[in-house]
Amino acid sequence: MADLSSLTAASTHIAEQHPTLKLLILFGSRARGDCDRNSDWDVAFLSAPDSENLSAWFSGADLLKTLSKQGHISSDSRSERLRQRIDLIDLSTCSDILAHFVAQEGQLIYERDPGEFERFRQRSLKAPAELKQFRQTQREKVLQALERWGA
């Protein structure tokens, strides 16, 4: 079974196959340590676009294959319940609130340049007041939707 250390050990091979990769971060239940055998793998990545060599830009599907192979995260064909899944998040396009939670609970798998993960964390972590405002806004949207639906 894969774990953070096996992903970290495989990170050099992953980076070799995806040269524009800047950051690879494990987050969610596996990073927090409250996972079970059916938990999925939540992995966030940041890559540097290469405008001169677009073929070096990798697709999420390619990265998923590499993570599965190098990190030894595979499906168990005997039972759908035991199938391990990787959820891959592109940090350049995800929401600010998702980036906050990746920065808050994430465990570093790979960083191309020393300090890249810490810079990401400093950019992405929200202050408590910002989180409170976000929750209030989301609550208001839910209440408005419920009102429209007559609930």
Q: Which of 3, 34, 40, 113 is catalytic?
A: 40
Q: Angle at CA 51, nearest 5°, toward 123 and 93?
A: 35
First to last CA, the chain: 45
- Of the candidate CATH numbers 3.30.460.10, 3.40.50.300, 3.40.50.261, 2.30.30.100, the domain formed by 4-126 belongs to 3.30.460.10
Give the position of tokens 């196959």.
Answer: 17
Encode pLDDT of 50-67 as tens digits: 645 444 445 566 676 777
Distance CA 137, CA 11 (A): 38
**Residue extents of the structural domains in the chain:** 4-126
Active-site choice (3, 34, 42, 90): 42
CA angle 37, 4, 36 (to 5 degrees): 15
Stretch (H or E) spanning 41: strand 41-47
Cα 25 to its chain centre, rounded Å, is: 6
pTM of the entire predicted model: 0.74
Contacts of 36 (CB under 8 A, 6+ apart): 29
Give pLDDT tens digits along the chain (151 positions): 467 787 888 888 888 888 888 999 999 999 999 998 888 889 999 988 764 544 444 556 667 677 767 665 654 444 444 446 888 899 999 999 999 999 999 999 999 999 999 999 999 999 999 999 999 999 999 999 999 998 7
CB 56 within 8 Å of CB 26: no
Q: Is 40 tagged catalytic?
A: yes
CA 136/CA 11 separation, integer angstroms: 39
